[in-house]
Homo-oligomer: A and B are copies of this chain.
Amino acid sequence: MVDKRCVDNLRMLIVDSVQESKAGHPGMALGMSEIGYFLYRHVLRHNPVNPSWFNRDRFVLSAGHGCLLQYVCLHLAGFHSVQRGYKVINGIQIEDLKRLCKLGSRTPGHPENTLTDGIEVTTGPLGQGVANAVGLALAEAHLAARFNKPDVAIVDHRTYCIMGDGCAMEGISHEAASLAAHWKLNKLTLIYDDNNNTIDGPTDLAFTEDISLRFEALGWNTITVDDTHSNMRSFKSALLSAYKETQRPTFIRVKTRIGKLSKKEGTSKAHHGIFDEDDEKQMKQKVKWDGREPFYVIPMVYREMQVQADNGEELEREWYSKLYHYQSKYPQEAVEFKCLLNGGMLPGWESALPTWSTSDPLDATRGYSESCLNHLAKVLPGLIGGSADLASSNKVYLHGYGDFQQPASPWGRNIRYGVREHAMAGISNGIALHGGGLIPFAATFLTFSDYMKNSIRLSALSHAGVIYIFTHDSIGLGEDGPTHQPVEHLVGLRAIPRLLVFRPADGNETAGAYKVALANRDVPSVIALSRQKVAAHVEGTSADGVERGGYTVSDNSGTNLPELILISTGSELCLCEDSARVLRKEGRRVRVVSLVCWRLFDKQVAEYKEQVLPPSVSKRVSVEAGSPIGWREYVGPEGVVLGVEEFGASGAYLDTFKKYGFTEENVTRIAKRLLSQHNNSSIS
């Protein structure tokens, strides 16, 4: 009865919030109120006064449009906005519920981890949260295997995720679910809100598979709960079944009525939108709420929820005493564990990065990257990651660190994602946001970044510092042909806000890219690497140069300004150097600039930028084997952009490069044509 009244109150807050804000998605929130309440009141082990307590249970709302449910639960559970010393908790006040979807509120249209404490990951694009949850559960399983001892488990929490029909249909959730079972993530519980409705109508318009059997086929423990709205017994016993599992993740299918209480109950109309006056009135009558002020909370409800909050505080205290015990008994492990909790970066880690000299043998930048990764693995205990079945091509295997596999080797730091790029990225976001200091990397061919585009965007939006390692970064990959040759990808990635996109030219720039990527843990990075061989060290490049995004690699102008600037990235920098050599022999003053990361260069002070690209030097050529879009910013109105405007073609690397004009001869020809022209400062 107490529980029922709490659920009623929760529903009324949902209704009031939607009515007051004239926005939001009440349908799922009303349908899942019992589940949301039960989780926050009886299940989730967390501490609202310290939302970032490491050993808390993680909760993900993959059906992000249902965020109002979570906002109300967080408020009732005690996640309030407070300042404690330096620490500010961005919780949810009643005031926030009144400002749903309003600019600057903590209650945006979909949950954002960067705005609201108690939100672990940013969701909304469907299916992403399922992959995030798999990442969170993987992080727990991995850290538990590395640090727990027979007598003390300092890593021991569970991951819960609510998904809807939309999430269930998305490919990314399927990929992630297949991996979760393969990895035997038994502490992961996925709760499927089976409400028979999607935006366009009844679910069976497009979704008639036997989803329980599908999850069984993937290797999940599957349970159906039919009586969600009448009592919580079956849900409770489903959770108990999940606790008992030692192998399989658990899939709980809860049957619910979307928009419960409303006249629109059970129809797709309940998905979003406010309620008419009548509807609001009859909903309040149904739960005997008449006459109460909007946003009323029965004091008993706060008290009930406080029980779980107090439990959480006690659990955190217990955990600290466990940690104390651990420290004294396992001091060495404790040092590493605490290092991870602090982000995993030991001072001086940068010095582990290799350097190359001009006399070192040629290799592809993916080869230099392999060396960087393997050196870094030794000094960064949190470095973990893998490839979507291209580990050998991407060269991202951490040698000597084993595969993450359960039960054989959960301590392994190489993750075998199979051919599942989208899940890989979504899982990496979960690992990055877990809070356990793991630093995930995720690798595939640059072209296949397409498969994971939305997850990369979410890395940037949610401050998940994933390192994306994308090899085979241009038409220079050769034989595999246009389906595998990226053209538009670099500019598409550069346009994602916050994301750092590096395209290093040699070994030292590759090391530099890792250095900057790792130093900026709150933004994701892309490191684009070649398949074909380039110099280990192009004279003039440096890891330090990479930090500024663009810098002068070579220049024979002395105290004069150059007549011409060649601007390039990645494997084409060598071409520019070759061309510069030819032009210099002919007496020309030529500068070569590496623009290895646009965003970092753009952020430099104007003085520096003008030093690298002096405004009065208008003869400039950019050389990059990718879309020309965006280069005008750097070459100016008179400059020439040498790019690829068509899809590539299957052929040997040098043939393909030649076909699209990427030869020293062509760069020199363009440069000479420019040099022979009179200055003409109008916009051409």
Contact = CB atoms under 8 A, between A and B. Distances in A.
Interface of A: 23-24, 64, 101-105, 108-110, 112, 122-127, 165-167, 169-175, 178-179, 181-182, 198-200, 205-214, 216-219, 387, 389-393, 403, 405, 416-423, 447-448, 450-451, 453-454, 457-458, 460-461, 478-484, 487-488, 491-492, 494-498, 613, 615-616, 618, 627, 629-630, 632-633, 636-637, 645-647, 649-652, 655-656, 659, 681-684
Nearest to A417: B206
Contacts of A392: 199-200
A650 B175 contact: no
A271 B405 CA distance: 24
Given A481-B110, A629-B630, A454 B451 contact: yes
A418 B206 contact: yes
Given A103-B656, A199-B390, A487-B495, 20 more contacts: A108-B650, A112-B481, A125-B483, A170-B175, A171-B172, A179-B206, A182-B208, A207-B418, A209-B217, A212-B217, A214-B218, A216-B217, A450-B457, A451-B454, A453-B453, A488-B495, A497-B647, A615-B683, A632-B633, A637-B683
A188 to B, nearest CB: 16
A416 B637 CA distance: 48
Contact of A126 (B205, B214, B419): B419
Nearest to A458: B483
Instruction: State the main secondary structure of chain A at its contact with B.
Output: loop
Contacts of A457: 450, 488
Contact of A418 (B205, B211, B417, B496): B205
Given A392-B199, A682-B616, A101 B170 contact: no
Contacts of A613: 683
A19 B19 CA distance: 71
A175 B166 CA distance: 11
Contact of A416 (B171, B200, B656, B659): B200
Contacts of A104: 649, 651
A461 B206 CA distance: 29
A491 B495 contact: yes
Nearest to A210: B217
B419 A166 contact: yes
B124 A481 contact: yes
Max count, chain B CB within 10 A of own CB: residue among A420, A652, A681, A683: A683
Contact of A169 (B23, B126, B178): B178
22 contacts: A64-B483, A101-B652, A102-B650, A102-B655, A103-B652, A110-B480, A124-B480, A124-B481, A124-B484, A125-B451, A169-B178, A170-B419, A179-B206, A182-B209, A210-B217, A214-B217, A451-B454, A460-B647, A488-B492, A488-B495, A491-B630, A630-B630
4 nearest A-B residue pairs (beta carbon): A171-B171, A103-B651, A206-B418, A124-B483
Contacts of A460: 647
A390 B619 CA distance: 49
A488 B497 contact: yes
Contacts of A198: 389, 418-419
B213 A416 contact: no
A166 B389 contact: yes
A271 B618 CA distance: 50
Max count, chain B CB within 10 A of own CB: residue among A199, A448, A450: A450
Q: How many copies does the complex hold?
A: 2
Given A218-B214, A451-B125, A629-B629, A650 B495 contact: no
Max count, chain B CB within 10 A of own CB: residue among A165, A478, A646, A650: A650
Nearest to A209: B218
A209 B248 CA distance: 12
A123 B487 contact: no
Contacts of A492: 453, 488, 491-492, 495
Contact of A207 (B108, B171, B178, B461): B178
Contacts of A451: 125, 170, 172, 453-454
Contacts of A103: 649-652, 655-656, 659
Given A206-B182, A209-B218, A497-B646, A479 B101 contact: yes
A479 B108 CA distance: 7
Contact of A389 (B108, B200, B423): B200
A632 B628 CA distance: 12
A483 B110 contact: yes
Given A420-B171, A458-B483, A483-B122, A497 B645 contact: yes
Nearest to A387: B200
A495 B457 CA distance: 17
Nearest to A644: B497
A683 B175 CA distance: 49
B109 A479 contact: yes
A567 to B, nearest CB: 13
Nearest to A499: B488
Given A124-B480, A172-B171, A651-B101, A209 B219 contact: yes
A370 to B, nearest CB: 15
A460 B122 CA distance: 32
B171 A423 contact: yes
Contacts of A174: 171, 174-175
Contacts of A181: 208-209
Contacts of A108: 481-482, 649-650
Contact of A175 (B64, B169, B484): B169
Contacts of A23: 479
